[in-house]
Amino acid sequence: MHEPKVVRQTSKSEVLGHPGKEKLEMPLKGATLVLACFAVLCVSRLQAQRAGQWVPGQYGLNAGVVPDPGFTYENLAVNYSASTLNDSNGNRIQNITGTYSFWAEENILMYVPKFKILGAKLFPYIELAYANGSLVADLAVAPGANLKLAGGGSGYGDTYVQPAALAWTFKRADVNVAYAFVAPTGRYSAGARNNISSGYWGNIVNAGATVYLTKNKGTSANLFCVWETHGKKMGSDQTPGQAFTTEWGLGQALPLKKDFSRLLQLGLVGYDQWQISDNGGTTTVGGVVVPASTLPYYSFHGIGVQSNLIFPKKTLAFFFKYYDNYAARARAQGRTFVFGGSWTLKIPKPAHAQQ
C-alpha cells in the first residue's frame, strides 16, 4: 500500500462494528448455587436485565477511526445465541438445557462538522434499535420430571445517544473519547417476560484507539474501552452493578485494485466484559427476596474474526464479524454474529478548494 491515509479516509465507513449497544436484555445469568434458582433467573434475563447495556462485538478493527466531515448512516445487525448456562465458577449447569437468542437491528446516525475543538473532530450520534429475543429453558427438577420455562419479545429497544465526542488524528494513530447515555425507551414492565427495554437509564464513557504499525497504515492494532454505570430499574429498588468492557483487534488492509478504490481488511478480534461493582437493592430468587448484592459477578470473553470490504472513493463499507464466547461466569455462553454496512455523505468542499 502506498496511499498513507487509505484506511483512514474510509473512516467510519469502516465503522466496522461501531457503537451500537444492544438494548435487548443480555444473557441469562445464574444467581445462586441452587439449580432451581438458576432456572428462574434464566427467564428473568428477559424481564430484569442484570448484564450491562453494552453488548460486546460492536467494535473490532478501526476502533479509533472517525469519519470525514459529513453525515454517516450505519446499519448494524447483531445476533447472539447460547445453549449453555454457566455458574459463577464458569462451569456448565448440567440440569438446565435450552436456548437463548436475540437479534438487534441498529440504525446509527452520525454527524461530523467541519470545525474542530481542541484540534479534534466532533462526532455526536444517535442509535435507534429494534430487538427480538427468545428464551426456552428445560430444568430437570427430579428424575423423569422437567420444568419448562419460556419468555421473549420484540419491538423498539432503548435509545443510545452520544452528545459529546472528540476524535484526534496523529501521524501513526487515531484516538477518540466520548460520553453517552442510554434512555429506556423500549417496552418494559416490572416482572414481565416480554420486555425489550433494560428498564433503567445508563451512563457510558468510552475511548477508542487505532495504532498503525506500518507507515502505509495497512497494519493496525485497535483497542476500545467502555465503562458504564446504571440507574435504578423502573418499578423496583434494583440498581444493576457497573460494568467494564474492552474490545480489541489486530488487522491488515489489502488493496483489491491498484488505485485503492477497493480494499479488503482482515483481522483477529475479541472482547472481554466484567461486572465491577455490586448490584443494589433487592431481587427475588425462587420466591425469596434477597439482597441483589449477593448475586455473583458476571464476566464473559470472546474471540473471533472480522472482514471488511471498503470502497474509499464511495465512502462505503461492509463488514462481518464472528465471535466465539469461549468463557463465561454467572451467565450464558454462546456465539455472536455481527454484520452490516455504512455510508458517509461528505460535506462538499468550498468551490475554490475543488479547483
Sorted by where each begins, the domain ranges of the chain are 6-354
Average pLDDT over residues 263-286: 94
6-354 under CATH 3.40.50.970, yes or no: no
Ranking 70-74, 144-148, 207-211, 345-349 by mean pLDDT, the lowest is 144-148
Region of 215 (left: φ > 0; alpha: ψ -120 to 50; beta: rest) is: alpha
**Nearest-5° Cα angle at 202, 302 to 11:** 60
153-209 pLDDT, tens digit per residue, is 789 999 999 999 999 999 999 999 999 999 999 988 887 878 888 899 999 999 999
Higher pLDDT: 93 or 6? It is 93
The residue assigned the cell 488505485 is 259
d(CA 24, CA 49): 9
Q: Which three cell numbers stand for residue 117?
A: 475543538
Confidence of residue 20 (pLDDT cuts 50, 70, 90): very low
Q: Supply the mean pLDDT for the chain.
A: 82
114-134 pLDDT, tens digit per residue, is 999 999 999 999 999 998 876
d(CA 114, CA 121): 8
d(CA 70, CA 151): 42
d(CA 266, CA 260): 16
273-283 pLDDT, tens digit per residue, is 999 999 999 98
Burial category of 353 from C-beta neighbours within 10 Å (exposed 0-12, middle 13-18, buried 19 and up): exposed
291-341 pLDDT, tens digit per residue, is 999 999 999 999 999 999 999 999 999 999 999 999 999 988 999 999 999
- Written as one string, the DSSP assignment of 170-192 is ETTEEEEEEEEEEE--S---TT-
d(CA 131, CA 67): 27
